[in-house]
Amino acid sequence: MSTPAPSNPGLSKPNLMVAAPGWLTASIMLATVMQVLDTTIANVALPHMAASLGATQQEITWVLTSYIVASAIATPLTGWAAEVIGRRRVFAGAIAGFTLTSLLCGIATGLPEMVIYRVFQGLFGAVLIPLAQAVLLDINPRERIGQAMAIYGAGIMVGPIIGPTLGGYLTEVFNWRYVFFINLPVGLAALAGVMSFLPKESTKARRFDFTGFAMLAISIGALQLMFDRGEAVGWLESAEIWLYLGLVVSGLWAFAIHCLMADNPFIDLRMFRDRNFVMGLVFIFIIGLTLFSGLALLPPLLQKLMGYPVIETGLVMAPRGVGTMLSMLLVGRLVSRFDPRVLVAIGLALTAWSLYDMSGFETQMDARLIVTSGVMQGFGLGFVFVPLSTLTFATIAPHFRGDATAMYSLVRNVGSGVGISLVTAVLSRMMVVNHEELAGQLTATAPQVRDTLPGLLQQSPLMASIADGLVGQQAAMIAYIDNFVLMMILTLAAFPIVFLLRRPGAGRS
């Protein structure tokens, strides 16, 4: 059943008419939040999983890596699958598969089967995010795209923020298995909604370009493994990382050449002629760097250096999500009234300001600055994400939307992986450097030694141990601050891109 055309001739029509767009949007967002939550909700439960599954701390990280790699490889399949199988079937099948594999993860008894289930969970979950964005773009007229992207952005950005909080609560109060069991009611509700309200669409024959997909999958998988394994094996000092790097470069080169020469390539490279789309990809890569890097840094900072318990860590980080939701509600109304580029610039400024505030963190301080900087950063990122999505897809041809939204999600995820690896490497390196510099200042004539640690002058082993601990703590705090400054610089570096974007209605590039 379709809704009648709008009576107001000044309003544009959506590309896909549905009977209950509100209910369909709610169902889509349930699936979106469910998938995005699983990128971070399991992080805090890893030590409990390792003990239960008989795995080491290094081995248990494959629970995260397997999901991320599988999801990254499968994301580009979204456009092809939606055209050939139909969006309704793909969406429903992905939700059902994700829900079932969540159940299997929750009842896993060993690490090998857990990794296998997480691989399939990543494969099913990969199509949910780009499909959700494509459907929201199609069921809303142009003048409501900003509000639709605000709803979509709320799910994308709030999910990773509340993930550690929810995961910590479920693990502490119930069991780590409930980190996966919580997906069951959410997935069933989302499946029922999509089956009820998303209409069937005609499919079309589109040959599966196995060569193109294989080359892209190899390069994406190798890239994810390179960043995930780099810190553990010493980056370019390891032959393993050189192997991954070679696969990335050769795979992308072969993929690009193949897509230029093939009659029906896996990804139509003509969509990259759209300037807004290309600039949007660059921008969302940077947002992926800053958003998820901060989320990766804060839990260990709060727990290891500041002594916050798991649940309290989640509570201190929760206001960041509140800031994001507030900005999403506000910017959804503003994006149709103001130049979206101005809103993006305001969001970038707020985000950079919050990172500047975070560079003032100290080991001995209350939670006030953590909360206020988190709210400001969440507010700023919300102002960036919604108008950026609007600008990125403002001029893209409708027939490219399936592949374009998949590429957008893929680039954001790659940016997240690069960002987490970058801040981890910087953190490890700067902790060593800072420790050496601070320890070098503890000479016999230093005031700190004479007034605070006089036992060092008598070569007391106990005082030496205490001094080393204090130096290590300060070295780590400075290393975290170095990372916050780095993310602030990256955020400020994105400002020129704002002026390369065309506002909607300004003409196509």
pLDDT beyond 60 at 449: no
* Contact criterion met (CB below 8 Å) for 235 and 241: yes
Q: Residue range 442-471: average pLDDT?
A: 62
Question: What mean pLDDT do residues 435-439 have?
Answer: 83
Which of these, 29, 174, 154, 33, lies nearest to 106 by C-alpha position?
Answer: 174
For residue 1, pLDDT over 60 is answered with no
Percent of the chain with pLDDT over 90: 32
pLDDT value at position 450? 57
Alpha helix positions (H), 13-61: 21-37, 46-53, 57-60
Return the HEC string of 186-254.
HHHHHHHHHHHHCCCCCCCCCCCCHHHHHHHHHHHHHHHHHHHHHHHHCHHHCHHHHHHHHHHHHHHHH
What's the pLDDT tens digit per position in 23-79? 999 999 999 989 888 877 776 677 788 888 888 766 777 787 788 788 888 989 988
To the question of pTM greater than 0.85 for the whole model, the response is: no
Residue-wise DSSP of 386-442:
HHHHHHHTSSS-GGGHHHHHHHHHHHHHHHHHHHHHHHHHHHHHHHHHHHHHHHHT-
pLDDT digits (tens, 9 = 90+) for 383-395: 888 888 888 988 8
Select the more confidently predicted residue: 111 or 321. Answer: 111
SS3 readout for 299-332: HHHHHHHCCCCHHHHHHHHHHHHHHHHHHHHHHH
Residue-level pLDDT at 190? 95
Instruction: Write the pLDDT tens digit of every residue in 108-155.
Output: 999 999 999 999 999 999 999 899 988 998 888 877 887 888 888 777
Distances (CA, A) of 223 to 65, 216, 297: 12, 11, 21
The pLDDT score that the predictor gives to residue 442 is 63
**Residue 372: predicted pLDDT:** 94
- Split at pLDDT 50, 70, 90, the class of 351 is very high
Inter-helix orientation angle 145-173/368-392, to 10°: 140
pLDDT band at 106 (very low <50, low <70, confident <90, very high): very high
Amino acid in the structure at residue 177: R
Q: What is the pLDDT of residue 15?
A: 66
Name the nearest CA neighbour of 148 among 367, 369, 405, 397.
405
Report the amino acid identity of residue 428.
S
Is a pLDDT exceeding 70 seen at residue 170? yes
Tokens of 418: 């690069």
- Residues 304 and 371: their CA atoms lie apart, in Å, by 18
Decide: 216 and 251 in contact? Cβ < 8 Å: yes
C-alpha dist (Å) from residue 256 to 75, 101, 397, 481? 17, 34, 21, 39
Residue 443 pLDDT grade (very low, low, confident, very high; cuts 50, 70, 90): low
Q: Can you give the pLDDT at residue 509?
A: 43
The tens digit of pLDDT for each residue in 251-296 reads 999 999 999 998 888 888 899 999 999 999 999 898 888 876 777 7
Residue 10 has pLDDT above 80, yes or no: no
List CB contacts of 297: < 8 A, sequence separation 6 or more: 423, 427, 480, 483, 484
pLDDT at 8: 42
What mean pLDDT, rounded, does the chain reach? 84
Confidence of residue 373 (pLDDT cuts 50, 70, 90): very high
Q: Which range among 88-92, 400-404, 434-438 has the greatest average pLDDT? A: 88-92
Give pLDDT tens digits for 395-433: 888 888 888 888 998 898 888 878 877 888 888 889 988
Which pLDDT score, from 0 to 100, does residue 508 have?
A: 47
Encoded tokens for 266: 């896996």
Indicate if the pLDDT at residue 377 is higher than 80: yes
Do the Cβ atoms of 342 and 376 come closer than 8 Å? no
How far apart CA 223 and CA 225 sit, in angstroms, is 5
pLDDT of residue 140: 84
Q: What is the pLDDT of residue 400?
A: 87
Please provide the size of the chain in residues: 509
